[in-house]
C-alpha cells in the first residue's frame, strides 16, 4: 500500500466528506477525462495506422455489485502515469495550501485544483482503475479505498485504454447513492453535462419490447438489452449559435477545463475570413493557484477537423490574456502542423490576431456594461494585464491601457484612466498617484493629506508593478502621471509658492544644519506646504521613487544599490518648527537628535524600515 502525498490526502479527505453537494459531477469529470484520453490517442492514430479508431466511452451499471464502470479506449496510463496522475493531486499543491492559510475556504481550495478524478470518492468507497497505455505491453490496476492509500499491480487487460470501476457507497440518510445505478439517472446526467462529447458514450439499457411472433391484438412483452448512445456528439461550437444557451457554455467550460465554478464570461464566435474557425472562449472566475508562476501554461485547445491536435496552443493567446481558456476548431489548418512551424504559420497568426481582437472587444464591453464582473476579472487577472503593459518596453501599452483600473481616493473603488481624466479638476494638469503596500497605508501617507482635503482624486498604487506601469505609459490622454511622493509635487498657487520660498530662505541655515546632521541619508531637507497634520514626509528626486527602491530591493538578487534620492520635507506650518528653531539657536547637539527622530519617523510613514535602530532608540530616549 502506497501513501498519498500529504496534500492529496487532504483533498481526498475533503472529497470523501463531501463538501460538494453536487456529487453527481463525478460522472462528467470521468467522462471528460476519458474524452481527453481518446483525443490523445486519436491524434496518434493519424500517424500510427495500427491504432484502432473505433473510439468510444462505455458505461456499465451493475446493480448486484453496486458498481458504475466507465471505460474508454483512449491512450491509457503506464504504472508511472498512474503514480504521477492518481497518486498526487498537483505537484505544486503546497503553494495553494499556503494560500489557504490566508483564509480560503476548503471549497475554494478544491476548486483551485480542479475537481478531477478524485471527485469520484464523493460517491465511492473504493475505486479500481484498470489501464493499458499506448506503447506498453503491460496493463496495470490501481486500487484505493480512499485516504489510507492506494496500490498498483500488474493485471490483464484487452486493448488500450482505461476502465474505472466505482464501488458506490452505501445509501445513507444524506444521500441515495443507488440512484447512480438507475439507467434513467445516468442517461439524464450524460445529456445534461456531457452531451457534446465528440465520442459516443454508450450504455446497455433495458427496453421493453413486444415479443416477436406474438399477435398484435394480444401482444406479449419482454425486456431486452440494447446498446444506446446517450449523447448527441455534436461539439458545442458546431451547434448553431441560437441553440447554445449560457447554461450549455457554463457546463462545457467546467467539463473541459476542470473547474467547479462558472466562468465570468463566455464567448461563442464563428469567424469567417482569410481563415475560418469556430471558437469558444472563457474567462475563469478565479486565477489558478499557479497562474502567476512560471509553471502556468497558457493556451487554448486547438482542433482541426474535429481532431484535437494540441491541448494548449500557446501561440494563439498573448501572455497578458493568458488567463483566457477556450477551444479553437478550424478546418483550414493542416492536421500535422507541428510545434516548430506553428509560430510561423500564417493561418495560426491570423487566428491569434482574431482571438486577441475578440477578447479585447469583449473585455471592453464587459467594462462598460458588466462592471461588477469586470472588477472581479481585474481582481484576479489585473496583474497580468499590468505586466503586459510593462513588458517589452511597453510595446503593447496602447492596446492595454484602457483595460487598467486603479483605486480612486475619491470614489473609493476602482476607476479606469479614462474615467479619472474625465473627472480631473479644473486646472489640474497631471494624473496624481500615491504608492504603498495597502490602500489603508496609502491613505495615511502625510503627503496626500492636503491634496485629499482640496478634493483632488488620487490613484492608489498598491501593486509593485503599478508605478512601473505609470512610468512606461508616461501619460494617458496627454495627461502625465505624477506621484505625490515626488519632491516637486505641489498644489500651491503662485502666491503660496512665493510665501514658502521666502520662509525657506529665512530658515536656510536651520535646514542646512539638519541636512548636515543626516549626512548622505538624504539629498535635501526642505520646507513644505503639502502637510496638514504631519510634521514631516519623505519624498524623492529623480527617476527612482521610494516605492521603486522598495520593489528593487525585494527582488531575489537585490544588492541594495538602487536607492531613491530622498528629500526630507518639514511642514512649514507645524509647531515642531519652533522647537527646531530653538534647538538650532541654543543646543546644536539636540538639533541633531531631533533630525534623526524626524528622519526615521518619515521613513516609517513611507513604509520603510528604520534605518538605524540603535541611533533612533538613543535619540528618542535622550529627548524623553
Task: Select the residue interacting with ligand ADP from 116, 146, 464, 607 (CB under 6 A).
Answer: 116
Decide if residue 33 touches ligand ADP (CB under 6 A). yes
For ligand ADP, the binding residue among 117, 291, 321, 599 (CB under 6 A) is 117
Closer to ligand ADP by Cβ: residue 85 or 205: 85
**Contact between 85 and ligand ADP per CB under 6 A:** yes
Report the nearest approach of ligand ADP to the CB of residue 125 (Å).
Answer: 18
Question: Cβ of residue 113: shortest distance to ligand ADP, in angstroms?
Answer: 8
Residue 34 beta carbon to ligand ADP: minimum distance, rounded to whole angstroms: 5
Phi/psi region, residue 158 (left: phi>0; alpha: psi -120 to 50; beta: rest), is beta
Of 162, 409, 416, 447, the residue at the interface with ligand ADP (CB under 6 A) is: 162
Smallest distance from ligand ADP to CB 57, Å: 9
Exposure string for 476-489, b = 16+ CB within 10 A, e = fewer: beebebbbbbbbeb
Instruction: Please say which residue, 111 or 114, places its beta carbon nearer to ligand ADP.
Output: 114
Q: How far apart are CA 233 and CA 191, in angstroms?
A: 10
Q: How far is the CB of 15 from ligand ADP (least distance, A)?
A: 11
Residue 74 found at the interface with ligand ADP (CB under 6 A):
yes
Please, are residues 294 and 369 in contact by the beta-carbon 8 Å criterion? no
Q: Does 569 help bind ligand ADP (rule: CB under 6 A)?
A: no
Nearer to ligand ADP, 56 or 371 (CB): 56
Minimum gap (Å) between residue 77 Cβ and ligand ADP: 5
**33-41, 172-180, 388-396, 576-584 -> range binding ligand ADP (CB under 6 A):** 33-41
CA 533, CA 601: separation in Å to the nearest integer?
A: 14
- CA–CA distance, 180 with 25 (Å, rounded to integer): 12
DSSP annotation string for 548-613? HHHHHHTSTT--S----EEEEEEESSSTHHHHHHHHHHH-HHHHHHHHHHHHHHHHHHTTPPPS-H
Shortest distance, position 40 Cβ to ligand ADP, whole Å: 8
DSSP state of 427: T
Specify the residue for cell string 401482444: 219
Stretch of residues binding ligand ADP (CB under 6 A), selected from 73-81, 234-242, 360-368, 412-420: 73-81
Q: How far apart are the first and last CA of the chain?
A: 69
φ and ψ of 359, to 5 deg: -60, -45
- Specify the stretch interacting with ligand ADP by CB under 6 A; choose among 110-118, 212-220, 312-320, 493-501: 110-118
Residues 243-282 that bind ligand ADP (CB under 6 A): 258
Q: What angle do CA 444, 445, 448 make, to 5 degrees?
A: 105
At 480, list the grid cell: 502625465
For residue 587, give every residue at least 6 positions away whose Cβ sits within 8 Å of its Cβ, in sequence order, or none: none
Q: Which one, 80 or 191, has the nearer CB to ligand ADP?
A: 80
Report the residue number, 290 or 499, with the smaller CB distance to ligand ADP. Answer: 290
Residue 284 lies near ligand ADP (rule: CB under 6 A): no
Using the rule CB under 6 A, give the single segment among 113-121, 416-424, 572-580, 611-619 that binds ligand ADP.
113-121
Cell matching residue 603: 521613513
Of 37 and 281, which CB lies nearer to ligand ADP in the complex structure?
37
Q: Which one of 25, 34, 548, 591 is in contact with ligand ADP (CB under 6 A)?
A: 34
Is there a contact between 485 and 545 (Cβ–Cβ < 8 Å)? Answer: yes
- 90 scored as a contact of ligand ADP (CB under 6 A): no
β-partners of residue 585 are: none
Cα distance between residue 307 and residue 508, in whole Å = 78
Residue whose beta carbon is closest to ligand ADP? 116
Angle at which helices 183-194 and 246-257 cross, to 10°: 100
Minimum gap (Å) between residue 403 Cβ and ligand ADP: 29
* Binding of residue 202 to ligand ADP (CB under 6 A): no
Does 72 contact ligand ADP by CB under 6 A? yes
To the nearest whole angstrom, how small is the minimum distance from the Cβ of residue 33 to ligand ADP?
A: 3
Whether 70 contacts 34, CB under 8 Å? yes
Helix (H) or strand (E) holding 507: none
Report the interface residues with ligand ADP, using CB under 6 A: 29, 33-34, 37, 72, 74-77, 85, 114, 116-118, 162, 258
Amino acid at each position: 500500500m502506497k501513501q498519498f502525498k500529504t496534500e492529496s490526502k487532504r483533498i481526498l479527505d475533503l472529497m470523501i466528506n463531501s463538501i460538494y453537494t453536487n456529487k453527481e459531477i463525478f460522472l462528467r469529470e470521468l467522462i471528460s477525462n476519458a474524452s481527453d484520453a481518446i483525443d490523445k490517442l486519436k491524434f496518434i492514430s493519424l500517424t500510427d495506422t495500427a491504432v484502432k479508431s473505433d473510439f468510444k466511452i462505455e458505461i456499465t451499471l451493475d446493480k448486484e455489485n453496486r458498481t458504475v464502470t466507465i471505460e474508454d479506449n483512449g491512450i491509457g496510463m503506464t504504472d508511472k502515469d498512474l503514480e504521477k496522475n492518481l497518486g498526487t493531486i498537483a505537484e505544486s499543491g503546497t503553494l495553494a495550501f499556503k494560500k489557504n492559510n490566508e483564509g480560503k475556504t476548503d471549497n475554494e481550495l478544491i476548486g483551485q485544483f480542479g475537481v478531477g478524478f478524485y471527485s469520484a470518492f464523493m460517491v465511492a468507497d473504493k475505486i479500481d482503475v484498470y489501464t493499458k497505455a499506448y506503447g506498453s505491453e503491460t496493463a496495470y490496476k490501481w486500487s484505493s479505498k480512499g485516504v489510507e492509500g492506494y496500490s498498483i499491480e500488474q493485471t490483464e487487460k484487452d486493448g488500450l485504454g482505461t476502465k474505472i470501476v466505482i464501488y458506490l457507497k452505501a445509501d445513507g440518510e444524506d444521500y441515495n447513492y443507488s440512484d447512480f445505478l438507475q439507467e434513467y439517472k445516468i442517461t439524464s446526467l450524460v445529456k445534461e453535462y456531457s452531451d457534446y462529447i465528440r465520442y459516443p458514450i454508450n450504455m446497455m439499457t433495458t427496453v421493453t419490447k413486444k415479443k416477436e411472433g406474438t399477435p398484435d391484438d394480444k401482444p406479449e412483452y419482454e425486456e431486452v438489452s440494447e446498446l444506446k448512445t446517450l449523447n448527441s456528439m455534436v461539439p458545442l461550437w458546431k451547434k448553431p449559435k441560437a441553440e447554445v444557451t449560457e447554461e450549455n457554455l457554463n457546463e462545457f467550460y467546467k467539463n473541459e477545463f476542470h473547474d467547479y465554478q462558472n466562468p465570468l464570461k463566455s464567448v461563442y464566435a464563428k469567424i469567417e475570413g482569410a481563415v475560418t474557425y469556430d471558437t469558444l472562449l472563457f474567462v475563469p472566475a478565479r486565477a489558478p493557484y499557479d497562474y502567476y508562476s512560471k509553471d502556468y501554461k497558457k493556451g487554448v485547445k486547438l482542433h482541426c477537423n474535429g481532431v484535437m491536435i494540441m491541448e494548449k496552443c500557446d501561440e494563439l493567446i498573448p501572455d497578458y490574456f493568458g488567463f483566457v481558456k477556450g477551444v479553437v476548431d478550424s478546418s483550414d489548418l493542416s492536421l500535422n502542423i507541428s510545434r516548430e512551424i506553428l509560430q510561423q504559420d500564417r493561418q495560426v497568426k491570423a487566428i491569434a490576431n482574431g482571438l486577441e481582437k475578440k477578447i479585447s472587444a469583449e473585455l471592453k464591453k464587459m467594462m462598460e456594461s458588466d462592471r461588477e464582473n469586470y472588477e472581479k476579472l481585474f481582481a484576479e487577472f489585473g496583474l497580468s494585464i499590468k505586466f503586459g503593459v510593462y513588458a517589452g518596453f511597453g510595446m503593447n501599452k496602447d492596446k492595454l491601457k484602457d483595460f487598467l483600473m486603479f483605486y480612486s481616493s475619491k470614489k473609493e473603488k476602482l476607476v479606469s484612466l479614462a474615467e479619472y481624466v474625465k473627472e480631473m479638476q479644473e486646472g489640474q494638469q497631471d494624473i496624481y498617484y500615491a504608492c504603498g503596500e495597502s490602500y489603508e497605508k496609502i491613505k495615511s501617507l502625510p503627503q496626500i493629506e492636503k491634496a485629499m482635503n482640496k478634493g483632488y482624486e488620487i490613484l492608489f498604487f498598491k501593486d509593485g508593478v503599478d508605478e512601473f506601469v505609470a512610468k512606461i505609459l508616461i501619460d494617458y490622454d496627454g495627461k502625465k502621471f505624477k506621484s505625490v511622493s515626488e519632491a516637486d509635487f505641489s498644489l500651491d498657487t503662485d502666491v503660496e509658492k512665493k510665501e514658502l520660498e521666502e520662509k525657506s530662505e529665512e530658515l536656510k541655515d536651520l535646514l542646512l544644519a539638519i541636512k548636515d546632521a543626516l549626512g548622505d541619508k538624504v539629498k535635501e531637507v526642505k520646507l513644505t506646504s503639502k502637510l496638514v497634520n504631519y510634521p514631516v514626509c519623505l519624498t524623492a528626486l529623480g527617476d527612482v521613487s521610494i516605492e521603486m527602491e522598495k520593489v528593487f530591493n525585494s527582488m531575489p538578487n537585490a544588492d541594495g544599490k538602487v536607492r531613491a534620492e530622498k528629500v526630507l520635507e518639514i511642514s512649514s506650518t507645524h509647531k515642531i518648527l519652533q522647537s527646531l528653531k530653538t534647538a538650532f539657536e541654543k543646543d546644536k547637539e539636540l538639533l541633531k537628535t531631533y533630525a534623526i527622530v524626524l528622519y526615521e519617523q518619515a521613513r516609517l510613514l513611507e513604509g520603510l524600515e528604520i534605518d538605524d535602530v540603535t541611533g533612533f532608540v538613543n535619540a528618542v530616549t535622550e529627548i524623553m
